[in-house]
Structure 1
Amino acid sequence: MASPTVHIESAEQFNQLLNSSKIVVADFFADWCGPCKAIAPLYEQLSAQMSQPNLVTFTKVNTEKQQQIASAYAIRSIPTFILFRDGKLVEKVQGADPTKLQSLVRQISQESQNAAAGGSGSSNSGGGGTGSNSALGWRGAGLPRGYTDVTDQLEIPKTELLNFDEEFGNVRVLFDSSKPGALNGGKKTEKDWVVSDTDEQLLLFTPFMSVLKLHTLQITSVADEDEEIMRPKVLKLFTNRPHNLGFDDAEGETPTQLIELKDSDWNQDSTANIPLRFVRFQNINSLVIFVESGEGEGEKTRIDRIRFIGETGEKREMGKLEKIGDDSGA
């Protein structure tokens, strides 16, 4: 039986696949790369198991023959695996690490299930609204008219969350495309939400893969049975920082926007739909979210999901591939 993996012969072919297949997985490799050869059988096995016409497509991109594509996605070491959804980069994994590749596979499985279930579900055009399922997954509030969910532009591997309790979820949980377990009803088997650790404060650094115009921030925080765990109340947003802030800096600096949430801001899906001062959130390449305090007298703060709503701006331009060194992730 022939392998379903598509070997990319041109940038045009690759772009056509990104447009025709809901989910595309790309293995960036080179013929001389030992680690690439070592993990290739596992990749082929996953391709055989998970490929679905027009839904999930596995591809291989030879970085020496397809330098234009490799440069466009900033491939600096090989092997590198990239997951695309609706033509947009969702996840990037570097190195021949079977554990990391299996983690990527779990995300592919989740993405394909969302898409197969009719991911283009309806969403409200108003700012309040209720949760919706779309190609980008679950949201706790509808979309403002004329704007889209741009959470998929987040560069997940470079995000950073400070002061979170490791007994609960980590930073990736915040941007999970699935509905929070606490809103699904029934018994919760995993703690798929974030809780602060030593006090009520959280510091989140979110870099983006393209320049954005941000219109709305959606934060989901399910009311916790533990009275010591609160919803966020006072937030400070800082734009275009090269890295995360320290807590002292976040408390002392003037934010791009200061937000104080009220009980009435939380809808039936436990989501606050926060409008941003749009003129201040043009040309955004990163956002720092500082949860300064919670809504009550507790000691910790909880967040289940975060979504960014707006529009994409500049895209990466195709260019020449820089020479790939020996940092092949072995």
Structure 2
Amino acid sequence: MSKTVNISSPSQFTEVLQGSVLVLANFYADSSIPSQQVAPVFEQLSQALSRPKLVTFVKVNTAQQKDIAEAYRVTSPPTFIIFRGGKVVEKVQGADALKLQSAVKKVSEEVQKMGSGEGGASGSGSGSNDANWKGAGLPRGYTDITSQVELRYCELLNVDPDAGSVRALFDTAKPSALSGGKGAAKDWVESDTDEQLLLFLPFQSMLKLHTLQITSLPPNDDDDDDEEVPMRPRTIKLFTNKPHNLGFDEAEDLSATQEFELSEEDWNAEGTANIPLRFVKFQNITSLVLFVVNGDGDGEKTRLDRLRLIGETGEKREMGKLEKIGDEPGE
């Protein structure tokens, strides 16, 4: 379901500007071919970055909402305007997807900087109003590019259906486990039949990946008496530029782009492991497969609360050629 708000009146537009810290507005026209061309890009960004009361994406039909278009001097659709606190901070004219992405990147960076409670905003995660939670700092010279994950094409294998969905891994809110959130909605994932997990992450753009940050917050034994306590991951294999997810046997046998072992010392006080990657091997990547081979302990399940990708973005990629296991050529 689309997260983009279709503006139907000036009063509604005013309410949105007052109710969200950041607003990105697409002023479009149905008769404009450039508007039609860039609309899917805007929708993908809306799906990836929308946050209740923090970041809102809206569409304004310039023919139907002439007063709004005139108020912001929009004469040539598509025009994209970014508002902060109800004020214009940037305007992008035309169907230039790269310029739009660059502008929206600033939105993403704004989200990362937002403190809890700023502008009355709250996070989109379960039970936390800290939208600026981070398990570890950013390496100097690099940015958080987690928003480049194409969520609708992600695939997670061997996941416990009673835990959270794959989207929970990329929530910007503080994990409920750090907020005393026992009994809250499960905003983490756990493996199901054994300790292994296979996660396929396609990206919206070509990426240079510098660092992977993994947060894992299994409960203490005495906190979860009625259930088996999951483990943190220990051995992890990464594979780049795969067109689809791997099978478990295939992932076991293939040589990884990088493989690493995590120990207790790798996890900080907030349950996050900061993993530097062999940067030369993670240039110009379009997808990542993360394979949790085993957990650190004697249990039968592993747990992941958050994933964060640090690096640089590059050229936007076409998303139409992604495959799933079992797809036949030409389908």
TM over 0.5: yes
1:68 deviates by: 2.7
Q: Aligned partners of 2:161 and 2:219: how far apart in 1?
A: 17
Residue of structure 2 in register with 1:307 after alignment: 308
Q: Aligned partners of 1:54 and 1:231: how far apart in 2?
A: 35
1:51 deviates by: 3.1
Q: Highest relative contact order (Cα 8 Å, sep 6+), 1 or 2? A: 1
1:47 deviates by: 5.1
- Which amino acid is 1:285 matched to? T
Match of 1:167 among 157, 162, 176: 162
Q: Aligned partners of 1:280 and 1:136: how far apart in 2?
A: 32
Q: Aligned partners of 2:181 and 2:246: how far apart in 1?
A: 38
- Which amino acid is 2:113 matched to? S
1:53-92 aligned at under 5 Å gives the runs 55-59=22-26, 61-62=28-29, 64-65=31-32, 67-72=33-38, 74=40, 82=43, 89-91=45-47
Q: Aligned partners of 2:233 and 2:296: how far apart in 1?
A: 6
Q: Aligned partners of 1:236 and 1:208: how far apart in 2?
A: 18
Residue of structure 2 in register with 1:217 after alignment: 212
Secondary structure at the residue paired with 2:52?
Answer: helix
Structure 2 gap segments, 5+ residues each: 57-83, 86-109, 116-129, 319-331
Secondary structure at the residue paired with 2:202?
Answer: strand
Q: Is the 8 A contact 2:131 2:174 kept in 1?
A: no
Q: Is the 8 A contact 1:26 1:60 kept in 2?
A: no
- Which amino acid is 1:61 matched to? Y
Q: Aligned partners of 1:119 and 1:145: how far apart in 2?
A: 15
Q: Is the 8 A contact 1:210 1:315 kept in 2?
A: yes
Residue of structure 2 in register with 1:108 after alignment: 52
1:177 deviates by: 1.1
Secondary structure at the residue paired with 1:174?
Answer: helix
Residue of structure 2 in register with 1:120 after alignment: 113
1:159 deviates by: 0.7
Residue of structure 2 in register with 1:198 after alignment: 193
1:139 deviates by: 1.9
| Residues 245/58 of structure 1: CA separation in 2 closer, same or farther (3 Å cut) | same
Among all aligned residue pairs of Structure 1 and Structure 2, give the percentage whose two residues are the same amino acid: 52
Residue of structure 2 in register with 1:253 after alignment: 254
Q: TM-score, normalized by length of structure 2?
A: 0.65
Q: Aligned partners of 1:73 and 1:251: how far apart in 2?
A: 41
**For each residue in 1:165-188, what CA deviation from the matched residue of structure 2 results, as whole angstroms up to 9, or x when unmatched?**
111101000001111010113544
Residue of structure 2 in register with 1:279 after alignment: 280
Q: Is the 8 A contact 2:160 2:191 kept in 1?
A: yes
**For each residue in 1:239-275, what CA deviation from the matched residue of structure 2 results, as whole angstroms up to 9, or x when unmatched?**
0011111111111111100011011000011000001
Residue of structure 1 in register with 2:16 after alignment: 50
**For each residue in 1:36-79, what CA deviation from the matched residue of structure 2 results, as whole angstroms up to 9, or x when unmatched?**
xxxx86x99975653338722444534541x334434547xxxx
Q: Aligned partners of 2:297 and 2:266: how far apart in 1?
A: 15
| Residues 118/157 of structure 1: CA separation in 2 closer, same or farther (3 Å cut) | closer
- Which amino acid is 1:263 matched to? E
Structure 1 gap segments, 5+ residues each: 1-23, 28-39, 76-80, 84-88, 93-103, 123-134, 318-330
1:288 deviates by: 0.3
More deviation, 56-65/146-155: 56-65
Secondary structure at the residue paired with 1:248?
Answer: helix
Q: Is the 8 A contact 2:114 2:132 kept in 1?
A: no
More deviation, 201-210/53-62: 53-62
| Residues 199/187 of structure 1: CA separation in 2 closer, same or farther (3 Å cut) | closer
Q: Is the 8 A contact 1:26 1:61 kept in 2?
A: no
Q: TM-score, normalized by length of structure 1?
A: 0.65
Q: Aligned partners of 1:44 and 1:302: how far apart in 2?
A: 46
1:195 deviates by: 0.6
1:316 deviates by: 6.0
**For each residue in 1:124-147, what CA deviation from the matched residue of structure 2 results, as whole angstroms up to 9, or x when unmatched?**
xxxxxxxxxxx9843210001100
- Which amino acid is 1:251 matched to? E
